Amino acid sequence: MKYQYSHLIDPSSYDNQCLCNDIPLRCHRNSDIEESGLMRLRNDWQKHIGPLPLSTYGGQGPQYNFTAVTIPECLTERLEIVAYVMEFAFLHDDLVDQAEASEGLGLFEKMMKDIKAGVQSSDRRQSSSGEGRILGNILEEMMAVDSLRAKQFLEYWRRGVSLPRDQTRFESLDDYLDFRLVDSGAFEIDECSRLTRPAWAAAFLTNDVQSWEKECEEYKNQTKLNHTADTPHMVNGVWILMRQYSIGVQEAIDRVHQKVKVFVAEFVDTVSTLDGRKDLSEDSRSFVEAAQYMVSGNLIWGMSSPRYRSDRTLNGLQMAGLKCTGPPHVSPVMKDTKHPPTPPDEDVKVVDGSKEIDDNDHNNTQVASQIGPRPIVSVMRNLALFITQDHPTLPSLPISAPASYTSALPSKNIRDKAADALNIWLNVPPADLSNIKRIVNMLHNASLMFDDIEDGSTLRRGSPAAHTIFGIAQTMNSAGWQVVEAIVEMQKLKDDSTFEICLKELSNMYTGQGHDISWSTNIVCPTLGEYLKMVDYSKSSSVDFILNLSNERTETGGLFRILTLLMLAQSPTPRRTGLMALASLMGRYFQVRDDYMNLSSGDYTKKKGFCEDLEEGKFSLLMVHTMQVAPEADKMLLQNLLAQRRAAGKMSMAQKHLVLEIMKKMGSMEYAAKVLEAMLAEVRKMVEGVDKECGMENEMMRSLLGSLDVEAPLP
């Protein structure tokens, strides 16, 4: 059987309770069309018949709807009308189940007359009853799609509802199954009927267990309403076994489950031999194979369907759709105290391998184009669903997952330690400090995701980078969402002037990063002044201040100044004039330190890879210095190496070692180390100045500075 319209569901996502072993679960790719069909039926029911049966959920389920998983290979152009019919059957069953026995039989007789009239009438829309009008709609739509099968279907249905309805007593489970299998409308001719019997039996018995509580409630109500001497019986396999063997409910359920497993194993064996059945037509083999999904689909749907599970509900979008279908459920029979409102030869054989179905065969892909527009099927029929504004909020998990993954990677929480060190001077209230830390962490997280994408990094803290798991598009979206969330949190601090300055710093972040990317992409070496300005824009960050302490890397900008600005704005102490100058100098220091560690630190190599800056074609301080002082021959060599890296998307180990040799020959490593030494000495002087301004020594800040020396181990 060729699968065109469905996809497999991962078995690890559901528990089949060993009731459909070796039978997969598939779901139609266009399940939204099914949703449209069943919602349209509900609207038509209320228009032509009246209030919906009490507390009916029909074939809906929060994960899967009935038709999408029981007939997953339904032709897409027929899916809506099939769902429409299924929902009609569900609602009609509920209506009958909630009526008294005599009234229920009357409802069946009425529908049988309507179906018979539908088969014979030339004007099927003129029925005097509401159900007759709906059946007329069904037949007209089916006739437009496939006239032969429309008449066959309606005849099968007529024969099904023509069966005796007063039989509720069965001597054994086998007698009951014989009744149910005929009651199902399983009129496939001869061999197909025999081959699929175990599948239908497994599905019906599974349904008996899943609907047990619902049927018990209905049985109790029937008993109260019944005024005759005879006690009504339940038409349910569990009930029959209880009476047949005088056993309790759980033992009866266990026996039903065991029977289901036997039927499933029998049918799995049947399906495995279908390829060798050359006496069966392709259509018949497909029919038998497709029957297995009635077993798995019915099982998994029923597990979560509020139709049978009072502890389950529909998903938010479905509940919004129900609000659009009219007034609340009302029943004249009882009050609900549990749930709130909410023309060719018809004798064609399908098992004869030498005789195929006519040109209207359901596998003929030209049928849809031959019959023209379908008269009823349209998503827009359920117009209210498209107009209403009362739809549920979409879940945040798809947006937050990459960010949550990145933030959960191993970390030493030095960001918070850095903020705490600044707070020795600023004395920001705990609640405000907590909000500021959250803002910085969100911006930091966004910077990591953006940076890994822009640089093509595959590792972050020794683990796969987010975009290698969630994809580039989803990770970028998550990073952008984190920036927006951080801005929202900034506004809560209620300091307009500081907020505007922080937005400017965020703008500078992207400006500086844009130049950094442009230089690498176009192999343009900046001047030392341009490099430092780019650092001031995109590298003078709290992330650099914080994250380089843990030997990581970021390309976001201005975050250290943002951290300092936000803390200054919330500080009750007088302004500390030296802090912003300290912030800028520390930002430069951290970037130069990062450039140096990238090419010299073994620990960095473990977490991000060997000489990652060379892999990315970065113009770090060391590369800028080398390009400025190298003779033309070496400069040409470096430019060609960078050009080959751009073409290949990476740099080989041999190429990296050659670049490092040139850098060492030009003294760039020593140059960077001396710059770091001088800058750190200046930073320490500035810290002493702030200490004097505040009248206290900040030992926490001094401890952090002690970890910044390139000779010292990282904290």
For residue 48, give the CATH number of its domain: 1.10.600.10
In angstroms, how far is CA 540 from the centroid of its own chain?
38
Residue 400 within a domain: no
Residue 555 has pLDDT above 90, yes or no: no
44 and 102 together in one domain? yes
Max avg pLDDT among 202-216, 312-326, 606-620 = 202-216
* Residue 570 lies in domain: 414-706
Residue 349 within a domain: no
Surface-to-core class of residue 410, CB atoms within 10 Å of its CB (0-12 exposed, 13-18 middle, 19+ buried): exposed
Residue 357 within a domain: no
Give the rounded percent of residues in the chain with a pLDDT score beyond 90.
24
> Which residues, 6 or more positions from 62, have their beta carbon under 8 angstroms from its beta carbon?
304, 306, 312, 313, 314, 315, 318
Quickly state the pLDDT bin for 451 (edges 50, 70, 90). confident
Q: Can you tell me the mean pLDDT for 531-549?
A: 55
373 and 447 together in one domain? no
Residue 398 within a domain: no
Residue 628 within a domain: yes
pLDDT at site 297: 93
pLDDT at site 151: 80
Q: Can you tell me the mean pLDDT for 438-444?
A: 89
| Higher pLDDT, residue 635 or 589 | 635
Residue 409 within a domain: no
419 and 334 together in one domain? no
430 and 383 together in one domain? no
pLDDT at site 351: 34
| Higher pLDDT, residue 550 or 178 | 178
| Higher pLDDT, residue 305 or 338 | 305
Residue 156 has pLDDT above 80, yes or no: no
| Higher pLDDT, residue 547 or 20 | 20
pLDDT at site 55: 61
Quickly state the pLDDT bin for 271 (edges 50, 70, 90). very high
pLDDT at site 129: 74
491 and 437 together in one domain? yes
pLDDT at site 547: 32
585-627 pLDDT tens trace: 877 887 888 888 888 876 666 666 678 888 888 898 999 999 9
Q: How far apart are CA 347 and CA 131, in angstroms?
A: 28
Token pair of 606 as six digits: 């473990």
Within 523-620, residue ranges assigned H as helices are 528-538, 542-547, 559-570, 579-600, 602-608, 612-616
pLDDT at site 416: 78
Altogether, the residues listed in the chain come to a count of 715
516 and 617 together in one domain? yes
Of 286-300, 357-371, 422-436, the one with minimum mean pLDDT is 357-371
Residue 399 has pLDDT above 50, yes or no: yes
pLDDT at site 49: 85
Number of domains comprising the chain: 2
Q: How far is CA 514 from each of CA 444, 518, 525, 538, rounded to the nearest angstrom?
A: 18, 6, 14, 9
pLDDT at site 389: 64
Residue 674 has pLDDT above 80, yes or no: yes
| Higher pLDDT, residue 371 or 476 | 476
376 and 430 together in one domain? no
Q: Can you tell me the mean pLDDT for 324-341?
A: 39
pTM of the model: 0.47
Residue 714 has pLDDT above 50, yes or no: no
Residue 294 has pLDDT above 90, yes or no: yes
305 and 431 together in one domain? no
Quickly state the pLDDT bin for 124 (edges 50, 70, 90). very low
174 and 313 together in one domain? yes
Tell me the three state secondary structure of residue 146.
coil
| Higher pLDDT, residue 709 or 334 | 709
Q: How far apart are CA 325 and CA 342, in angstroms?
A: 10
What angle, 0 to 180 degrees and rounded to 10, lies between the N-to-C axes of helices 397-407 and 430-455? 90
429 and 374 together in one domain? no
Residue 37 within a domain: yes
Q: Can you tell me the mean pLDDT for 75-90?
A: 90
Residue 335 has pLDDT above 50, yes or no: no
Select from 387, 422, 449 the last residue of a domain: 387
pLDDT at site 325: 54
Q: Can you tell me the mean pLDDT for 165-179?
A: 71
Q: What rounded mean pLDDT belongs to the chain?
A: 77
466 and 610 together in one domain? yes
Place of tokens 């061999």: 191
Contact present, 679 and 585 (Cβ < 8 Å)? yes
Residue 393 within a domain: no
292 and 428 together in one domain? no
